[in-house]
Amino acid sequence: MPTSATGTSATRRHRWAGRARGFTLIEILVVVGIIAVVSVGVLLSVNLVSGRDGELEHESDRLLALFKYARDEAALETREFGLRFDDDRYTFLVYDVHRQHWRAVTEDDALGERKLPGGLDLKLTLDGRPVVLKRPEDPKDLKPQVMIYSNGDLSAFAATLERDGGVRSVTITLDDKGEVIAQPLVEAKPR
């Protein structure tokens, strides 16, 4: 068998010349994995730098939508609704005229009690005064802090959802026309 100057056989060189060299499946998977890890890192850093808080925004959007829904239901059913806030949850109430007391809404799943995710807290201001939020000792002793009247009126309030003691917050309140609105997300200034 003849050998070339480099010491390889001429026939062996011809056998490999017809076969194209490509990437193996493992090499492709490693590259795809690296791209995925880098992409997740970039997305997380953009979310943290931009100050967005998806969970806080989602919960404030939900509370705003439920306020509007409860207001519509109060007008449609000509019943008085209310909202009770506690430090980590809120409950929609309806006035039972037959029993002469407030009770949690049970006939509409959308208005059921909502517990906030960990790290989110509630603060409530009524007529410009802060309210201490705590659960009643007797679960039957439910009274709303915010009234939703059957004529569409609401008592003056400002409900603030905040992240970890006020790092970020969104306030749901009434505008000057009496509409329920969410104010823009507020970032606490570093000290």
Rounded mean pLDDT of 102-128?
89
Provide the CATH number for the domain around residue 129: 3.55.40.10
Instruction: Kindly tell me if the per-residue pLDDT of 51 is higher than 80.
Output: no
Alpha helices in the chain (DSSP H): 10-17, 25-50, 54-77
Q: Domain tally for the chain? A: 1
Whether pLDDT at 11 is above 90: no
In the numeric block, which tokens belong to residue 90?
A: 């809120």
Q: Is residue 29 part of a domain?
A: no
pLDDT > 70: percent of the chain: 83
Domain that holds residue 176: 54-187
Q: Does 12 have pLDDT greater than 90?
A: no
Dihedral in degrees, nearest 10, Cα atoms 9, 13, 14, 20: 160
Look at residue 12 and tell me if it is in a domain. no
What's the CA gap between 184 and 167, in Å, rounded?
Answer: 14
* Within-domain flag for 145: yes
Domain membership flag for residue 21:
no
For residue 88, give the amino acid letter. Answer: D
The predicted pLDDT at position 134 comes to: 81
